[in-house]
Amino acid sequence: MTTLTLRLMGEPRIATDATANLRLPTKKSLALLIYLAAPAGVARSRDQLAGMLWGRSADEQARASLRQNLARLRKSLGAAKEALNADAQGIELDPQAAVTDLARFEGLAGASDEGSLEAAANLIHGEFAQGLRLNEAAFDDWLAAERRRVAELAITALGRLLAMQEQAGAFDKAAVTACKLLRFDALQEGVHQSLMRALAAQDRFESALQQYKQCRDLLRRELGIDPGDDTRALREDIARRRAAQRHVPGAPAVETEGLFRGLDENMATETAPSTELPPQLQGLDLRVPERPSIVILPFANLSGDAENDHLAEGIRIDIQAALVKVTGIFIIAAGSANALRGRDAASAGAALGVGYVLQGSIRRSGARLRIAAELIDVAAGNAIWTERYDRRFDDGFDVQDEIIGEIITALDVKLLRGEQAAVWHQTLKDRDALETFYKGIQEFFKLQKDPIARARRYFESVDKKQPQVCIGATWTAMCHWFDAFKAWGPDPAGSLVKAGEWAAKAVAMEDADGQAHMVLSHVHLMRREFDDALVVGREAVRLRPNCTNANGFLANVLHYCGEQKDAIEHVTWAIRYSPIYPPFFADVLALALLFDGDARAACLVATESLRLNPTSVTGRLVLIAGHAAHADFDHARQAGERLVAVDPEFSLQRFAERQPYRNSNDLNGFLDGLKAAGLPN
């Protein structure tokens, strides 16, 4: 007998012996199968099923709809259709022919031993039937009740497992369990404490402190309270341990030193310009981080045509997207790597301040791909690993995973528990969807109006081809956000709405990787939903700790929410991960420094911003306010005159209306400094 396998603990997945991921014809068919499976072996009357799934139809029509959907469901199941037993009275799912993770979870969740509880935890991929909704009152009420029941079982089982793991000192496991538990109940302050302790025990002090902030933001948003004394004491203890580690002999160097000329007193403020490097890197000598550091240079297309450029770019970005999630690796952003396209590995690595360079090439012949890759040790000047891969570019294409594994092994990086599942390439195994995605990536990274529009259409197609994964929705959200932020479309406000809708869709999915969180956080900020913006932005950084955009976007949110020191830290990291940074990052840093009371440093950074982008309004405003803070009103007025020359339509009122500051006093203080320069109101 053919076995029917149902995964219900998360986004529903249906499989048979012949098909790994079976798509059912309608949402009602899926709902019918799930209802029969929870639990299997219980006969449901046809009248009950018709009323539950077609409650808004007349009785006869509802029964006819049930018959039609049952027939289509049986046809979709193929040989596994024998698992459905139906007669004139009722329908049931044969428990001998149908296997569900829910039944196994229920059997394990009540056990008293750690092994069984861990097996139960491994079955949890999200809430029961995640993402399913019918807009049928009877079914949706049953689904909500079932989700509550399963969630209560999960919370109890995970809580017991977490206590066992903490007691045993298995902090790597405890961190994974705590994260799962918080997905069911994010307001358990004790679980946040457990996660903070688990992260700190692994010397992940920055992540532990970020977890405290996420806990604080959630409690403020949902309950209007601050964390308790014990949570705050734990935070202070972790902060002291982080500070002690930073100042002991041989501790890792601060990896953000020397990013701006003039901010570091040990750097020369005047350096001869170099035409060989992008302006952001001129005059800098970036320190190589203590942890393994790498840049992935653009892969070359050796196929002899431009039609396969998207494969070279897409495979590179796939590898990049995986490694930004690994806490033990420092990785330069793809944008900065693009700016050094064509340079040799040694000079690119030295300019970007990293220890290793990955470079590679692809050659396509029909359905076959040959991929060559090598990892260069910059200091030694030689390759420490080289490999060639001959693969078919079809369903199951996973050479990216092999390359990622080789890099992690070569750099001697230990993956923390739970990281491996997030790192490996898990999503687009369908050849058409993957190639469509790669074409979208190639267009997206041109970062121009028309290519972004083309990229959006590719990503929307990916979402239609594989709607069960987040990647299409995530990148569609990114495209709409660029349309809104750059005002590339005819309706920026409408683009922002669409960005929020697509980002919310992606964030809700099981495989959400943090990129959609970045977009959604900014949308919340523009709507003045400050607590939501902070919570979602911090989650983006948790999922993508090495991501320049996750840190830069969060820094912008933190600035507007009044948390300037955190903003300075995150935007500085963003700039270090992308040394050839967008002027926007310099603007965020300049604003955060100004609002934090360091007008001198703010003016220095604003000057750098204007060196990169002479039309920067924000850079001019920071200079004006910075000069005013030092009572240097002559220079403030001169900077104001240059601003008006660049933007003759500028007015303080219009500027103020667009600024989403949480605290009106922050905005008013900024405006007071600008008024001193005589800017038009």
Give residue-wise pLDDT tens across range 51-81.
999 999 999 999 999 999 999 999 999 888 9
- Domain containing 112 — which CATH number? 1.10.10.10
Closest CA to 474 of 420, 520, 433, 537: 520
In a domain, 304, yes or no: no
In a domain, 96, yes or no: yes
Angle at 64 between CA 63 and CA 66, to 5 degrees: 65
Expressed in percent and rounded to 5, the helix, strand and coil fractions of the chain are 60, 10, 35
In a domain, 81, yes or no: yes
Residue-level pLDDT at 276: 75
User: Given strand 44-45, what is the order of strands in its sheet?
Assistant: 44-45, 90-93, 84-86
- Domain containing 627 — which CATH number? 1.25.40.10
Residue with tokens 């048979």: 16
Residue-level pLDDT at 254: 37
Residue-level pLDDT at 256: 53
Q: Which of 136, 171, 206 is the last residue of a domain?
A: 171
H helical segments located in 169-308 = 171-184, 189-201, 205-223, 229-247
Closest CA to 671 of 628, 634, 631, 637: 628
Closest CA to 109 of 128, 93, 124, 126: 124
In a domain, 75, yes or no: yes
Residue-level pLDDT at 251: 34
Q: Which of 171, 187, 210 is the last residue of a domain?
A: 171
Residue-level pLDDT at 523: 96
Q: Which of 171, 190, 211 is the last residue of a domain?
A: 171
In a domain, 146, yes or no: yes
Closest CA to 514 of 474, 566, 479: 474
Report the alpha-carbon distance of residue 678 to residue 166 in Å, rounded: 61
Range of the domain at 646: 582-675
In a domain, 51, yes or no: yes
pTM of the model: 0.76
Residues of the chain with pLDDT under 70: 1, 245-275, 394-397, 414-429
> Radius of gyration of the chain from Cα atoms?
27
Residue-level pLDDT at 596: 93
In a domain, 57, yes or no: yes
| Distance set, CA 97 to CA 49, 79, 93, 354 (Å) | 21, 11, 8, 55
pLDDT digits (tens, 9 = 90+) for 108-136: 999 999 999 999 999 998 899 988 888 89
Residue-level pLDDT at 268: 37
Closest CA to 56 of 134, 144, 145: 134
Contact 474, 515 (CB under 8 A): yes
Report the alpha-carbon distance of residue 344 to residue 320 in Å, rounded: 19
Structural domains of the chain, count? 2
Report the alpha-carbon distance of residue 122 to residue 7 in Å, rounded: 12
In a domain, 475, yes or no: no
